[in-house]
Structure 1
Amino acid sequence: MTAVRRTPRFVPAVVLIGGVMSATAACGTGSSSSAEVSGTKPASAHSTAAWEEPDSYTYTLQSTEGERTLLGAFRVTVRDGKVAEAVGLDDSGRRVVRQAPAEVPTLRELLGQLEQARRDGADTAEAEYAADGHPVRISLDWEKNAIDDEALYVITAYEPRTR
């Protein structure tokens, strides 16, 4: 067996290198997170994006995790700030659209859930935003140790619409 002996000079060098790497990453010149690579910017648990919901738009929603009414994939059309059409893209989504169409949210309603979770002190209430400020991922978990109280919303194919 070979013994590894660390000299006192080794530890300061590691600390120095780690500090330089952290500072570089903080300046934005280091490696990118997967969210940054995909064109989104992660948001802290208490920040809000400077985005104003347009009156009309379409988006695709993938809702997963937990035992919530809203599970599945959906293509959503919003007109005048309200869901005008929701199409289920998988079996779960079609079931929701058939049985509880009012459960399919606008992006404003999803952001409202995020803000409510933050006010309620949820263990996780995080969002990632696209460059234009619209949400692309919302992750909620009201109680870390509770089962099935999580929600994960992934928003894709967002397109503002003109009438």
Structure 2
Amino acid sequence: MTAVPLPARALATAALIGGLLCATAACGTDTPPSPGTAEGTGSKSVAAQSRNAWAEPDAYTYTLKSSEGERSLLGTFRVTVQDREVVKAVGLDDSGRRVVEQMPDEVPTIGGLLEEMEQARRDNADTAEAEYAADGHPVRISLDWEANAIDDEALYIITDYRPAGA
């Protein structure tokens, strides 16, 4: 066994620790996006894509399932939009019926959901991302304002989207 002088051993240890720190820091860099999602950015999954190529039509219907967290908008809804305003919302489960009965103005348009996502991005939420259908409309919007907080998340699943006249 060869004796290594203390200064060389200390230098090797410092280099090893520095390398480990650099490798650990690299873990928080950009990660590739999943298929159908907007770009992710490491620990802060704030989507860079904005509203995709989809333009909200004046009139459409869709089904919204809103879950996660302790938000006022929990449940499943069938929503009718005209002139980009909700004109009819039907609760499809107990939670949805309660929201429609007590707070009918809380049921959003798809454009309103996208605005909420954009606001979460401006507020530097830990997660603000969407997945899009082939025609560009969002099918899933996931929000989490603070990763370590409980009950501040929102998950919106959009199904049965039909533009008026389609």
Instruction: Output the TM-score relative to the length of structure 1.
Output: 0.75
Aligned-pair identity in percent equals 71
Task: Report SS of the residue matched to 2:69.
Answer: coil
1:74-118, Cα deviation, whole Å (9 max, x unpaired): 000001110010000000000000000000000000000000000
Counterpart of 2:134 in structure 1: which amino acid? A
Runs of 4+ in structure 1 off by over 4 angstroms are none
Rounded Cα–Cα distance in structure 1 between residues aligned with 2:59 and 2:110:
11
Q: 1:128 aligns with which of 128, 131, 137?
A: 131
Rounded Cα–Cα distance in structure 2 between residues aligned with 1:46 and 1:114:
11
Task: Report SS of the residue matched to 2:96.
Answer: helix
The residue number in structure 1 matching 2:160 is: 157
Does residue 53 (structure 1) correspond to residue 49 (structure 2)? The answer is no
The residue number in structure 1 matching 2:20 is: none
Rounded Cα–Cα distance in structure 2 between residues aligned with 1:51 and 1:157:
16
The unaligned stretches of length 5 or more in structure 2 are 1-31, 40-46
Rounded Cα–Cα distance in structure 1 between residues aligned with 2:58 and 2:151:
33
Matches within 5 A, 1:95-114: 95-114=98-117
Q: Tell me the number of residue pairs that the alignment of Structure 1 and Structure 2 aligns.
A: 126
Rounded Cα–Cα distance in structure 1 between residues aligned with 2:58 and 2:131:
22
The residue number in structure 1 matching 2:37 is: 42
Does residue 117 (structure 1) correspond to residue 143 (structure 2)? The answer is no
Task: Report SS of the residue matched to 2:100.
Answer: helix
Rounded Cα–Cα distance in structure 1 between residues aligned with 2:148 and 2:96:
27
Does residue 69 (structure 1) correspond to residue 64 (structure 2)? The answer is no
RMSD: 1.5
